[in-house]
Structure 1
Amino acid sequence: MRFLFVFLLLISRAFANDDQALDGQQWLQKVNHAMKNMNYHGTVVFMKHGQIDTMKYRHTFENGVETERLSSLNSPLREVTRHSNEISCLYKESQQKVETHHPIDRSFIVNLPLKPERLHDQYLFAVAGQEMIAMRPAQVIAILPKDDLRYARKLWIDTTSLLPLKVEVYGQDGKTLEQVLFTELNLEDSAAPSDAALTAAEAEDDSHQHVSQAEAFEKSPFELKKWPAGFEKIFFIRNTMQQSKKTVDHLLISDGFSSVSIYFEAKGEKSIEGLRTLGPVNSYSRVIDDLQVTALGEVPLQTVELVAKSVSLR
């Protein structure tokens, strides 16, 4: 981890512009505002788990509500829409539609903390040089963790619109774990109507939508005694699986960049324990009495292990 930190820091210093008026935190604040309030569309490439997925993307902000839509260009054909914190996924071939409710608004493109200044003890936000992305000049921001409990990132920001054009996440060995890249980005008139907004508005009339609501984690039978500095409890949901009628509780903690989900469920016939890895996603499972606990997230192995081992029964 120290090698990666020094390597990215040297890159940032080598290309730093002494005349740059904004620091790293200020760039991130402006990106947050632009992502939420502007209307834009384009083509996005997601590279993760060794796979490449190219999708059409559209974002609108109308009447104070965000709407995002991702439409796949390759099989399996699907369309994912977020209307504020209501998310739906339509599989084109089968016409199956899955709808969920997320207690917080989360971008399909990149997760950023609303107040990055609160994380100055956990991250260094370094202003690096400028590069061309999708034929647009982009400012590079290196987001470097000060511990071994989260991943480093680089963010390429369109200097005109202040929208994110590219995001890379790096493992502790310095290798790229995942990448999101706009190959084409177009800005729209803020007053122009959008197909995504209309689709989402129609979805609101669906009387068959059933979602779980967030609850107070303090009222649960579980306790989380320790988690990495900078992380906060975001929500706690109690879900009942439709087929098995099994209850699975879900606690999400996040520092704005990285998130860890902790799942609590009754131990099955075959319990799961120990570490597992799939690309940038790591998980750690353990058994407490008759309870199966799993911590999972795009964070280093030691982070999910720390979180899972910090769970206890009240």
Structure 2
Amino acid sequence: MRLLVAGAACALLLSAPLLRAEEGADAARKWLEKMSTAARTLNYEGTFVYLHDGQMVSMRIIHGAGPRGEQERLIVLNGVGREMMRDPRVVTSIQYQHSAEVVARSRPRKPFPSGLFSNNAALGKYYIFSLDGEGRVADRLARVVRVTPRDTYRYGYRLWIDQASGLLLKYELINAQDAPLEQLMFTTLDLHPAPPAGLPDPDEGAEIHNAPARADEAQGRTSVAGGGMPGATADPAPDKVWRITRMPEGFAQTEQGTRILTTHAAPMEHIILSDGLAAVSVFIEKLNGAPGFKGPGKMGAVRAYGSVMQDHQITVVGGVPEQTVRMIAESVRMEQAP
């Protein structure tokens, strides 16, 4: 009997840490769900700083959730004048250059990083969720949630979530050594009962900014005026398609289309891969005999890897470790169309 009691006591002691970890994971998921809901449904405005690669960008955000759906306006407060306006239909990016406007339009995607944690149950296969104490950001109490990758193909996150509203107040993208690669942090934040002033009028925005940019959303194509070369194409051949033949477990292709950028002469094939949290872009462009870029590159947390195949430049970029972009770049193939 004593042996049975001792055995049961040992089993309880050994299982206690596991039970606490499971409880912590469940609590962390609930905080992430609250954060994801708050990011979509609350009305707020504030100022935040974005730190990466030794640089700091200060931005103002105005967010509203009203009868017209979710709307957002981001204004860069230092450096080159830029702003971005987002509504349920389109994202409009504006850059002011020497009194002229460069306007780009694309389809709306989930905001980063708050809106990416809505399906955290599925993400649990590739990330570990845990509570990591409390903190204070922008004079607001925050609950800290840690997101740790289960492999070396992804980065981790630390998230400071407002205890009162559930809004994300601060986040850090962290590497395997637990060092921050980039940070975002609110310095001021005000919540409102209704959408705040300063949000874009969708009708006026369409009238003012539709001329410089064009988008063919039905075909998944996004174009920006001022770029492109007549006759240039990113397509390998009418009967050929580009395929990603190898990627880390959990990643899947979410989008594919052709983009025309003001910074490139020719259209590019654009493929987006994601595991539901981390995202990787694959750009494929015809070189027409020009030398290509090969090997690794980086800018802050963003890693890049270039390769050349059959006179096409393949560039893979994303907020993931170098080995991830390398694996994907080396797996791009030109195959027969089905």
- Aligned residue for 1:195? 198
Other-structure match for 1:159? 163
Say whether the 8 Å CA contact 2:44–2:63 is kept in structure 1. yes
- Which residue does the alignment assign to 1:7? none
Give the equivalent residue in structure 1 for 2:245. Answer: 225
d(CA) in 1 for partners of 2:317 and 2:68? Answer: 33
Match of 2:29 in 1: 25
Aligned residues: 296
Q: Which residue of 2 aligns with 1:10?
A: none
Q: CA deviation at 1:277?
A: 1.7
1:139-195 CA-to-partner distances (Å, cap 9, x unmatched) read 1000000000010110000011100000001123322110000011110113x4532
Secondary structure of 2:178 counterpart: coil
- TM normalised by structure 1 equals 0.85
Alpha-carbon distance in structure 2 between the residues aligned to 1:229 and 1:291: 26
Say whether the 8 Å CA contact 1:56–1:73 is kept in structure 2. Answer: yes
Name the counterpart of 1:295: 316
Q: Residue deviations 1:21-51, cap 9 Å, x none?
A: 9522222122111101111001111111211
Q: Which residue of 1 aligns with 2:280?
A: 260
Q: Is structure 2 residue 101 aligned with structure 1 residue 96?
A: yes
- Residue 35 of structure 1 is matched in structure 2 by 39
Q: Is the 1:236–1:252 Cα contact (8 Å) retained in structure 2?
A: yes
Aligned: 1:58 with 2:62: yes
- Counting aligned pairs with the same residue, the percent is 29
Q: Which amino acid in structure 2 is aligned with residue 50 of structure 1?
A: G
- Please show how residues 162-241 of structure 1 align to structure 2 within 5 Å: 162-190=166-194, 192=195, 194-198=197-201, 200-206=202-208, 207-208=210-211, 209-213=213-217, 214-215=219-220, 221-241=241-261
* Residues 41 and 220 of structure 1: CA distance in aligned 2, closer, same or farther (over 3 Å): farther
Say if 1:255 and 1:64 are closer, same or farther in 2 by CA, change over 3 A.
farther
| Separation in 2, partners of 1:172, 1:193 | 40
Gaps of 5+ in 1: 1-12
Gaps of 5+ in 2: 1-16, 222-234
Residues 23 and 64 of structure 1, relative CA distance in 2, 3 Å threshold: farther
Please give the alpha-carbon distance, in whole angstroms, between the structure 1 residues aligned to 2:97 and 2:264. 27
Q: Hey, what does 1:8 align to over in structure 2?
A: none
Cα gap change, 1:304 to 1:244, in 2 (>3 Å): closer
1:274 aligned residue = 295
Aligned structure 1 segments of 4 or more residues deviating by more than 6 angstroms: 16-21
Q: TM-score, normalised by structure 2?
A: 0.79
**What does the per-residue CA deviation read over 1:238-269, in whole Å, with 9 as the maximum and x for residues that have no partner?**
12456875220100111232110001111241
Q: Distance in 2 between matches of 1:253 and 1:95?
A: 34
Question: Pairwise mapping of residues 237-248 of structure 1 onto structure 2 (< 5 A)?
Answer: 237-241=257-261, 246-248=266-268
Kindly report the root-mean-square deviation, in angstroms, between the aligned alpha carbons of the 2 structures: 2.7
Supply the distance in 1 between the matched residues of 2:263 and 2:49 (Cα, whole angstroms).
Answer: 34
The corresponding residue for 1:149 is 153
* Offset at residue 210 of structure 1 (A): 0.5
Structure-1 separation of matches of 2:112 and 2:145: 19
**Which residue, 58, 73, 79 being the options, matches 1:75?**
79
Q: Which residue type is aligned with residue 205 of structure 2? A: A
CA–CA distance in 2 between the matches of 1:237 and 1:18? Answer: 41
Q: Match of 1:69, as an amino acid? A: R
